[in-house]
């Protein structure tokens, strides 16, 4: 979100502009453009739920919905939204034709946690900074 009125919406349009231009120029030979929204719940809160920012979040959601609705005409865009708070995302984003494929990635099991710990502590073990039984 931008501090100036209308800038956040313009930023959303800019995200799609390069892919749109390339699709018009190259057609099916256009490269794939991947747009990733990390913590999408921060910019796409359910409309009407945010009392602060005087509805700016609502207009950003509306702009994003408008651009996503035009994506089916573009074959070169993949949109990925990531969140820990699916319950806070505007339901209109999750409708068919928009961000309809949803994959929940749960917490790792004990073996997975051990593997993650090993990956992140491997160098410590190599330099004898961490006991081998940790």
Domain annotation covers residue 74 = yes
Q: What is the per-residue pLDDT across 46-102, written as a single tens digit (0 to 9) for each?
A: 776 655 444 556 778 888 888 888 665 667 888 899 999 999 888 888 888 888 899
With a cut of 70, say whether residue 121 has pLDDT above it.
yes
Location of structure tokens 């910019």: 43
31 or 59, which is more confident: 31
In a domain, 50, yes or no: yes
Query: Same domain for 27 and 81?
Result: yes
In a domain, 2, yes or no: no
> How confident is the model at residue 23, as a pLDDT?
87
CB 18, CB 69: distance < 8 Å = no
3-state secondary structure of 132: coil
CA 90 to CA 48: how far, in whole Å? 9
Q: 126 and 94 in one domain?
A: no
| Same domain? 97 vs 50 | yes
More confident residue, 127 or 52: 127
Same domain, 73 and 118: no
Could you tell me if 74 and 129 lie in one domain?
no
Residues 78 and 58 in one domain: yes
70 plus 15 within the same structural domain:
yes
pLDDT at 52 (0 to 100): 47
Domain extent, residue 127, equals 107-134
Distance CA 11, CA 107 (A): 33
Domain count, the chain: 2
Question: What is the per-residue pLDDT for 32?
Answer: 93
Domain assignment present for 15:
yes
Predicted structure pTM score: 0.70
């Amino acid at each position: 979100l931008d501090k100036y009125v209308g800038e956040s919406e313009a930023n959303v349009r800019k995200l799609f502009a390069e892919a749109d231009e390339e699709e018009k120029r190259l057609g099916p030979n256009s490269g794939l453009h991947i747009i990733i929204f990390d913590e999408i719940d921060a910019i796409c809160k359910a409309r009407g739920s945010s009392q602060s920012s005087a509805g700016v979040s609502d207009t950003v959601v509306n702009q994003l919905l408008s651009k996503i609705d035009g994506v089916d005409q573009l074959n070169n865009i993949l949109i990925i939204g990531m969140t820990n708070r699916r319950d806070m995302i505007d339901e209109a984003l999750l409708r068919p034709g928009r961000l309809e494929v949803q994959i929940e990635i749960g917490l790792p099991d004990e073996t997975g946690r051990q593997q993650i710990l090993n990956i992140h502590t491997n160098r410590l073990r190599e330099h004898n900074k961490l006991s081998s039984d940790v």
